[in-house]
Structure 1
Amino acid sequence: MRAITSLNPNQMPDDVASALGSRYSDITYISSGATASVFSAHDSNLDKRVAIKVLRHIDERGLISFQKEAKSAAKLDHPNLVSILNFGKTHKNRAYLIMSFVDGKSLDEIIDQEGRLPLPLALNLLIQICDGLKSAHSKNIAHRDLKTSNIMVQNFETEPLAVVVDFGLAKDPDQEKSRTDTGAAIGSPLFMSPEQAQGRLGDERSDIYGLACIAFRMIAGETPFYSEDIFDLLRQHIDEQPPLLSELAPAWEIPEQLDRLLDSMLSKDPKDRPQSVIEVRETLSRVKHGLEAKPDSTAGGAKTESTKRDKVFMTLRVIHAALPVVAVGGILAAAFGLAAFVLHDPHSGAAKAASGFKRHEKSIKSAKVESSGLDDIGSIKIKPITEKPKKISNFFHSSGDSDYMERSPKQHYTPYNSTLLRDEELICFQNYTYKDKILPVSLNHTSITGTGLKYLRTPNVTILDLSATNLTDAGFAELVKLDNIEKLALQDTNITLAKIRKLKKMKNLHSLYLDNCKNISPEVVAELCRFPKLKFLSVGITDITRGGIKMLSGSRTLEAIVLNSTPCDDDCVETLLSLPKLNDLQLNDCPGITDKTVAMVASEKGVKMKALGLSGTKTTRATVPLLAKCPNLQQLSLGGIPLNDNDLEVIGKLKKLEALHLSHIKASEKAIYHTLLGLRKLTQTGILYSNMTEATEARIRAALPKCGLMTECINATSLKSEDRDPMDFIISAQSKL
């Protein structure tokens, strides 16, 4: 499926603004991460501010993940949990989520600014977090990524209210088991439970472990475990006994009951922890009441210093990081390889001596990465090199579930904070020992100029995503020197004829993604046809003309073409079918495509066709019997066609299907069930706006545990918004970098 991007993540995309309509006004940018941007806006219907999360790019798997996030979040309704109000998608298949707006600061920001928190305040916030988690856990929803940056605090100076946010990693354990089985690490390393560090499925007890780490950070100013080496940090979570809170905060009067509680919450075996957050809350309440009842108590303050003075307590700041998830034996190294921490004193050097902080200040240089053999996979360690960088949150992490056209690795490495990444940081790749592993790298939406691409000259980096970047001429010159690159994404970039001519020099390039680019002129197309090894070309949502589309027939190498949302019509397809190796044609959202196209494809290509995208076209049910002539189809998209039981019977005979996307179908629930169960190779399925009930959906998920199934998300009755407009997904089967 095409990836939708925006040149500037700080601006609301036009298609999202159009989909939101006049109901939302005064839209303001808040923040952005690797996969999404967050804005606030005024909702005129509800007469209050809301938060709008816009996914930066999306594919089939991403839509499935987004659906699960929306379903999970829609179940949550509690003052200490962020609430989902609505969600939807644009005509460009860009997904967005509308949530309640939390006007406050993250707990991480507060600790950085204020230092460690007074014990009564910390206990109050912990109890509120427990209340929110109790509500989520009662609905069988575990957060699984609890950390101080995911706790927002409103009215901190007066009546603090803790709100748990970002349930993007919150999963129904039954639905997500298969994902963990494939080795997906869920969580953040400083707060990650031992079972998650080993790649096992986390549950409510993992949240309890994470909550204990948060308690340490709030009260002691540091987490129970720490290491500059990401693997050593995970090893500590798995093997080492944690310190007592009182050992890390000797200047504070830590009640013994609190010490015992946190120690049990940090047990290595989930069975040895409190089995519910209710137990944790009850003990925290007893500790809080005990403090309040103590006469002449400093209420958990320092033994000799006032609470106000303790605000100069040294705070922990992350300033640099390097490379991503690597599986080492049973350990799944978390994706946020931390390069270093420094201790930051906001006031004076005197506070450093008074703080009791055990860690020494570290001067970190820019990171380099080396690998040492562990089970022939390798561990990543950070070592200093010469240049000292500015403070920067530069994390590389693994972004899984990408679907490549050929069976390439399903993980790629992408910066955790893309807007701050500098070209210099790419030196990490030069010093990484790959051990024959293919390393797909995503640098989309980063601020790099391209000069650092020279560090990617390694045979292990063969897949590169530079979408929505602004490479300089010097940077582009470095790009074309990367003879190792086989797949390249330049979506949403300023492509010119001169640049295309330079790309032709990349002798191993066989897949090129130019979606959302302007200037796809006939001259550009002519150059593309001269690429010596180009097999896959994606030019969806571009200004390519009908004439330009026909010119693609001049290529001697093209096997797959993505023309979504272009003026391609039946006449164009007739010309393209002369391509001798063509086996994948994506025509989604092309209004000029009719039944004639399917007839020609079935007649002229037949058994050669592996993928066909017809969602949002003018094709009808009459074309379905013709699909029997294409028995080797692996991907098929027929969104918007009202298929019946007989039609599904034909589709059910396409036994090689791996991805199937249908919508607005009229077939019976029984036919849907039996058709999907007969397609045993399915890995991605979208059945939207059908007669399927939740019970049948559950049966299908149980019968096909390895298949990502997407349905029409949330029933309108479950949404809290006045205007309930469920997502109208029309999914294409386009392969994506």
Structure 2
Amino acid sequence: MSHQSLVGRTIAGYTLNALVGEGGTSAVYRAEHPVHGTVAVKVLREKLREDRTAVARFTREARFGSRVHHDNVVRTIEIGEAEPDLHFLATEWAPGELLERYARRKAPLPPDEVVVIVDQIAEAVQAAHAAGIVHRDLKPDNVMYDPATRRVKLLDFGIAADTDMGAEERLTRAGFFVGTLLYVAPEALSGELVSPAADQWSLATIAYYLLSSCHPYGARTPREMFTKLLSQPPVPLNSAKESVKVAPGVESVVMRGLSRDPAKRYPSVREFAAALSAAVAAADTAPEPAVAEDDNTLLEKARALFRRRRER
């Protein structure tokens, strides 16, 4: 049975109206429900329905997602089995598009828009951390963004982990890591237990990407990326792309979030986001350096700066 063939069917009261996304393990539909209205329904791929690991991960996504109650996290409505081995997960419908698609078209984004996005992701992740959950797969493909409202919704807790799990539970298998290589923290590759600080690395990588349209290592192959992550510091943000420069304070915040030593990152994702917001605000209000300008020009700039501050 193909995913497309499910369109038009009703499972457990959810009428699947359109296939809106497909991945390696599941497909997502826009659906209607008589009580919940428009929702998103994720269905596990048929070939994985007898795979215990895949089913467990699918179930875990619902279990972890239902523990995090925040406006920037998609709300879990129901998880179930509509018929033998047809596993589904229903969540609220999040308007907009995947942040990855938006960034591919628009990045580099203006710093003020990056701050709005990063701040909401940070609040969602902070809520997960408060619930004892490390997301472990923060990336633009797991974030819905509505440019019209600038609202963000965090998706997919499929490989999340409890912060109080033991080592054997939190490591998938010895020598393996979970996550997405472009956004995974170095400590995850070395087999260490992943803490909330790993989510901060991923969020800093998202900020780096949105600000520059580049990734911190500039690797061309997964092997090169793996090697660099294990042994090298990331490329400074202002060296990523000749045509893109940010204020030094903004670069400093992002690069601290990308410290290879988790202890050198900010104490929390919320503090990282707050520092980024403050750095962008400081850059917006800082007067430009006076270079070979006469007194009248400098006076006019000072007056303009004063007017901007009064208008805020």
Indicate whether the TM-score tops 0.5. yes
Task: Kindly report which structure 2 residues correspond to 1:605-620, keeping only aligned pairs within 5 A, or say none.
Answer: none
Which residue of 2 is the match for residue 213 of structure 1? 205
Deviation at 1:80, TM superposition (A): 1.4
Q: Does residue 1:85 correspond to 2:74, yes or no?
A: no
Which residue of 2 is the match for residue 52 of structure 1? 41
Deviation at 1:276, TM superposition (A): 1.0
Deviation at 1:199, TM superposition (A): 3.3
Which residue of 2 is the match for residue 10 of structure 1? 4
Which residue of 2 is the match for residue 666 of structure 1? none
Task: Kindly report which structure 2 residues correspond to 1:303-314, keeping only aligned pairs within 5 A, or say none.
Answer: none
Which residue of 1 is the match for residue 53 of structure 2? 61
CA distance in structure 1 between the partners assigned to 2:10 and 2:117 by the alignment? 39
Match for 2:156 among 166, 169, 173? 166
Letter in 1 for 2:222: I
CA distance in structure 1 between the partners assigned to 2:244 and 2:27 by the alignment? 40
Q: Look up the SS of the partner of 1:99 in the other structure.
A: strand
Deviation at 1:139, TM superposition (A): 0.6
Letter in 2 for 1:8: S
Letter in 2 for 1:69: E
Contact residue 145 and residue 153 of structure 2 kept, 8 A = yes
Deviations 1:223-273 (A, max 9, x none): 011323322211211211222212224544522222222222111121221
Contact residue 125 and residue 162 of structure 1 kept, 8 A = yes
CA distance in structure 1 between the partners assigned to 2:262 and 2:35 by the alignment? 45
Contact residue 59 and residue 79 of structure 2 kept, 8 A = no
Distance 1:164 1:238, change over 3 A: same
Task: Report the identity percentage.
Answer: 24
Task: Kindly report which structure 2 residues correspond to 1:391-470, keeping only aligned pairs within 5 A, or say none.
Answer: none
Contact residue 10 and residue 16 of structure 2 kept, 8 A = no
The RMSD of aligned alpha carbons is 2.3
Contact residue 10 and residue 32 of structure 1 kept, 8 A = no
Distance 1:153 1:88, change over 3 A: same
* CA radius of gyration, larger in: 1
Letter in 1 for 2:96: G
Deviations 1:80-113 (A, max 9, x none): 1111111111331221100111121112111221
Which residue of 1 is the match for residue 270 of structure 2? 278
Distance 1:273 1:222, change over 3 A: same
Deviation at 1:76, TM superposition (A): 1.7
Match for 1:76 among 38, 53, 68? 68
Deviation at 1:209, TM superposition (A): 0.6
Q: Does residue 1:239 correspond to 2:234, yes or no?
A: no
Deviations 1:345-369 (A, max 9, x none): xxxxxxxxxxxxxxxxxxxxxxxxx
Deviation at 1:123, TM superposition (A): 1.6
Task: Kindly report which structure 2 residues correspond to 1:672-683, keeping only aligned pairs within 5 A, or say none.
Answer: none
Contact residue 10 and residue 31 of structure 1 kept, 8 A = no
Q: Look up the SS of the partner of 1:80 in the other structure.
A: coil
Match for 1:42 among 22, 32, 36? 32
Q: Look up the SS of the partner of 1:168 in the other structure.
A: coil
Distance 1:224 1:266, change over 3 A: same
Deviation at 1:64, TM superposition (A): 2.8
Contact residue 42 and residue 50 of structure 1 kept, 8 A = yes
CA distance in structure 2 between the partners assigned to 1:76 and 1:242 by the alignment? 31
Letter in 2 for 1:54: V
Distance 1:214 1:100, change over 3 A: same
CA distance in structure 2 between the partners assigned to 1:296 and 1:53 by the alignment? 51
Deviations 1:398-432 (A, max 9, x none): xxxxxxxxxxxxxxxxxxxxxxxxxxxxxxxxxxx
Letter in 2 for 1:162: V
Which residue of 2 is the match for residue 198 of structure 1? 190
CA distance in structure 2 between the partners assigned to 1:115 and 1:61 by the alignment? 36
Task: Kindly report which structure 2 residues correspond to 1:512-661, keeping only aligned pairs within 5 A, or say none.
Answer: none
Distance 1:266 1:171, change over 3 A: same
CA distance in structure 1 between the partners assigned to 2:33 and 2:280 by the alignment? 39
Contact residue 37 and residue 53 of structure 1 kept, 8 A = yes
CA distance in structure 2 between the partners assigned to 1:108 and 1:18 by the alignment? 30
Distance 1:228 1:251, change over 3 A: closer
Q: Look up the SS of the partner of 1:190 in the other structure.
A: coil
CA distance in structure 2 between the partners assigned to 1:13 and 1:254 by the alignment? 46
Distance 1:84 1:220, change over 3 A: same
Q: Look up the SS of the partner of 1:279 in the other structure.
A: helix
Q: Does residue 1:182 correspond to 2:141, yes or no?
A: no
Letter in 2 for 1:32: E
**Runs of 5+ unmatched residues, structure 1:** 1-6, 298-737
Contact residue 68 and residue 171 of structure 1 kept, 8 A = no
CA distance in structure 2 between the partners assigned to 1:93 and 1:113 by the alignment? 38
User: Whose relative contact order is higher, 1 or 2, with alpha carbons under 8 Å and at least 6 apart?
Assistant: 2
Q: Look up the SS of the partner of 1:42 in the other structure.
A: strand
Contact residue 181 and residue 200 of structure 1 kept, 8 A = no
Aligned length: 284
Contact residue 142 and residue 172 of structure 1 kept, 8 A = yes
Deviation at 1:169, TM superposition (A): 1.6
CA distance in structure 2 between the partners assigned to 1:99 and 1:37 by the alignment? 13
Deviations 1:488-518 (A, max 9, x none): xxxxxxxxxxxxxxxxxxxxxxxxxxxxxxx
Q: Look up the SS of the partner of 1:271 in the other structure.
A: helix
Distance 1:118 1:18, change over 3 A: closer
Deviation at 1:160, TM superposition (A): 1.0
Letter in 2 for 1:64: A
Query: Greater CA deviation, 108-117 or 253-262?
Result: 253-262
Query: Greater CA deviation, 110-119 or 56-65?
Result: 56-65
Distance 1:136 1:248, change over 3 A: same
Whose helix fraction is larger, Structure 1's or Structure 2's? 2
Q: Look up the SS of the partner of 1:145 in the other structure.
A: coil
Letter in 2 for 1:127: D
Contact residue 7 and residue 18 of structure 2 kept, 8 A = no
Deviation at 1:198, TM superposition (A): 2.1
Deviation at 1:193, TM superposition (A): 0.8
Q: Look up the SS of the partner of 1:169 in the other structure.
A: coil
Contact residue 116 and residue 221 of structure 1 kept, 8 A = yes
Distance 1:176 1:146, change over 3 A: farther
Contact residue 117 and residue 219 of structure 1 kept, 8 A = yes
Could you list the structure 1 runs, at least 4 aligned residues long, displaced by more than 6 angstroms after superposition.
none
Task: Kindly report which structure 2 residues correspond to 1:19-418, keeping only aligned pairs within 5 A, or say none.
Answer: 19-21=11-13, 24-25=14-15, 27-46=17-36, 48-56=37-45, 57-58=48-49, 59-154=51-146, 156=147, 158-175=148-165, 177-179=167-169, 180=171, 182-183=173-174, 184-294=176-286
Deviations 1:171-219 (A, max 9, x none): 2234474251623421111111101122333221111111111111111
Q: Look up the SS of the partner of 1:66 in the other structure.
A: helix
CA distance in structure 2 between the partners assigned to 1:148 and 1:176 by the alignment? 29
CA distance in structure 2 between the partners assigned to 1:34 and 1:252 by the alignment? 34
Contact residue 119 and residue 270 of structure 2 kept, 8 A = no
Q: Look up the SS of the partner of 1:38 in the other structure.
A: strand
